[in-house]
Copies of this chain bind each other. A is one copy, B any other.
Amino acid sequence: MTSSSGDHRRRVEPIFIIFLCLCAVSSGVDSAVHHLKWEIKYEYRSPDCFQKLAVTVNGDNPGPTITATQGDTLVIEVTNGLHSENTAIHWHGIRQRGTPWSDGTEGVTQCPILPGETFTYRFVVDQAGTYIYHAHYGMQRTAGLYGLIRVLVRNGTIEPFSYDKERSLILNDWWHKSTMEQATGLSSLKFGWVGEPQSLLINGRGRYNCSLAGGTDVCNATNPGCSPFVLTMVPGNTYRLRIASVASLSALNLEIEGHNMTIVEADGHYTQPIVVKNLNIYSGETYSVIVKANQDPSRNYWVRLNVVSRKPGTPTGVAILNYYPNHPKKSPPTIPPTGPLWNDTVYRFNQSKLIKSHPNYTEAPPRTSDRVILLLNTQNKVNGFVRWSINNASFVPPTTPYLIAIKENLRNVFDQNPAPGTYGYQNYDIYSVPQNSNGTLSNSIYRLEFNSTVDVILQNANTMNVNNSETHPWHLHGHDFWVLGFGLGKFDPDVDPKSYNLIDPILKNTVAVHPYGWTALRFRADNPGLWAFHCHVEAHFFIGMGAVFEVGADRINKLPSYILGCGESRRLIKT
């Protein structure tokens, strides 16, 4: 049931059994406690044949897949084996009800985990579905700390689709320069950008053209570690394919040559079944699709992954769909399908709008909201530095996490003024390079009334480059939100809400805001905690594209002392 392996497994099992028994006795529910011990390290890896340092979890990159059943408890002891870097791990999509300090968001919910230290995350996976975990510290996700979480339905529960077997694909983009180089460039007065990723990775495997690298000592195309991932299927069978993207930058489009995909799950919620030829997936999103192995069984097929929304500077990523018993490494006789044009915004926009809640599982949103927050996303210069801003405020988290500052009443940690809830939309031209002469750095937050219903409209606009607007996948911690609507152009508060889908909107935790477009969300602020809400592009959040929501702080239990120790929380140390 757990994904720990080797020595770790042996050490873990007795504890696992003890916890399992206790739970069964105390609650009468058949829920388990999975006790995992993880060591995070840097190791040399060659995921796309090019050797560089990558973060591993117990030696694996990507990290191990966690499998649990709805209602189970995960106890994950993370030991930071990096030499001089801190870490924190976010359990993306897990709502952390009652355990806001286990959300793993450094600067928001915890102090960082220092080298040599062990931090124990403990939380319940209360919702079946497909989730991910990844570093949430600086830009460390880019260094390769990520993996998949599968939360299965309870025994006897019937899902609204059927399949014979299950497979998973976790998608990523990958640079050959270090995370530290990327971060340094982004935060320098002389802005530096590492450029487009060198590779797209499918289950941690890509393929770089080693003739472009300087010698076989750093790039070796014969390294078996960088051969394409093989997805084996038995002809005639039906598969559930769990797909997740942890890409640091790229919006992705995935296609399985000759096979349609039927989308059935998005971010842990069942969707109306939708048949697509290819799937647009944005960083932080997860899907389940149904694929039938119903094509010519005498050959293999390409799994094709492309960058979309940005002008591609990264080669197509591939895996092999292997029809058993063909040789798993036998190249398909075709070239990989081309897929949609990278700049076909309307195509992606339309697919976003297709994703709706499954009729048998629809939880309709409240008809009205208590509060509307309108957030303009712009690229600005602040004090000479290139930044992303929300309503002209560019987010910089404090060194003392918000959760600690608020619960321990450390008022000088962050600006107590409310973060800006709207912008001058009447006069703002979203198609022009922003003026933004009044952009500022900010660590103020949005305080939401407990149990209130909140609408957030994310408005995209032109970047600092003429005729350019990017795609931003926004991710909310601690809650799922209803996706009420998408638009292209400027959101009009008087008109656009009339087109909201209040019947069967999908619940998600991550959603795309398309170039020059808007996306409208609604959620019930019913989970006490301090919750990050940010663009899931690692570089964008790193230079300001984020916010924090406070929800029902007075209902948060006493903080565990292990999350403290940094910043102003040292004031609480009594020697």
Q: Are B399 and A117 in contact (CB under 8 A)?
A: yes
Give the copy number.
2
Complex CA–CA separation, A407 to B138 (angstroms):
34
How many Å from the CB of A398 to the closest CB on chain B? 8
Q: Does A573 contact B (CB under 8 A)?
A: yes
> At the interface with chain B, which of A82-90, A120-128, A308-316, A338-346?
A82-90
Residue A565 lies at the interface, judged by CB distance under 8 Å to chain B: yes
Interface string of A76-102 (1 = CB under 8 A from B): 000000011110000000000000000
Contacts of A574 in B (CB 8 A): 572-574
Whether the pair B572, A559 counts as a contact (CB closer than 8 A) is no
* Cα distance A43–B184 in the bound complex, in angstroms: 7
A117 to B565, CA, bound (A): 12
Smallest CB gap from A190: residue in B:
B44
User: Which chain B residues border A561 with CB–CB below 8 Å?
Assistant: 570-571, 573, 575
A566 touching B117 in the complex, CB below 8 Å, given contacts A43-B188, A181-B53, A184-B42: yes
Q: Say whether, besides A565-B565, A566-B565, A567-B117, A184 and B84 are in contact (CB < 8 Å).
A: no
Is the pair B42, A180 in contact by a Cβ cutoff of 8 Å? yes
B575–A408 CB distance below 8 A: yes
User: When the two chains form their complex, are residues A84 and B566 in contact, meaning their CB atoms are under 8 A apart?
Assistant: no
List residues of A (119-155) whose CB comes within 8 Å of B's CBs: 137-140
Q: Which chain B residues lie closer than 8 Å to A571 at the CB level? A: 561
Tell me whether B44 and A184 are in contact (CB under 8 A): yes
Residue of B nearest to A213 (CB): B214
Report whether B140 and A84 are in contact in the complex, using a CB–CB cutoff of 8 Å.
Answer: yes
Q: Is A227 an interface residue, CB under 8 A from the partner?
A: no
Listed stretches A108-116, A478-486, A527-535; interface member: A108-116
B575–A570 touching, CB < 8 Å? no
With the chains together, A187 CA to B53 CA distance in Å?
A: 13
Contact A116 B399 (CB under 8 A): yes
Q: In the docked arrangement, what's the CA distance between A567 and B115, Å?
A: 10
Interface hits, A164-198 → B, CB 8 Å:
178-181, 183-184, 187-188, 192
B558 pairs with A575, CB closer than 8 A = yes
Question: Contact between A138 and B83 (Cβ–Cβ < 8 Å)?
Answer: yes
Does any Cβ of B come within 8 Å of A232's Cβ?
no
Q: How far is the CB of A415 from chain B (nearest CB, A)?
A: 15
Name 20 interchain pairs, CB-CB below 8 A, sorted by A: A44-B184, A44-B188, A83-B183, A84-B140, A84-B183, A86-B115, A112-B114, A114-B566, A114-B567, A115-B138, A116-B399, A117-B567, A178-B178, A178-B180, A180-B180, A561-B570, A564-B575, A565-B566, A565-B573, A572-B574
Ranked 5 nearest A-B pairs via Cβ: A565-B565, A84-B138, A116-B399, A83-B183, A84-B85
Residues on A lying within 8 angstroms of B by beta carbon are: 42-44, 53, 83-86, 111-112, 114-117, 137-140, 178-181, 183-184, 187-188, 192, 214, 398-399, 407-408, 558-559, 561-562, 564-567, 569-575
User: Given A42-B180, A214-B214, A562-B570, 16 more contacts at CB 8 Å?
Assistant: A43-B188, A83-B184, A84-B138, A84-B179, A85-B85, A85-B180, A114-B566, A114-B567, A115-B399, A180-B180, A561-B570, A569-B573, A572-B575, A573-B573, A573-B574, A574-B574
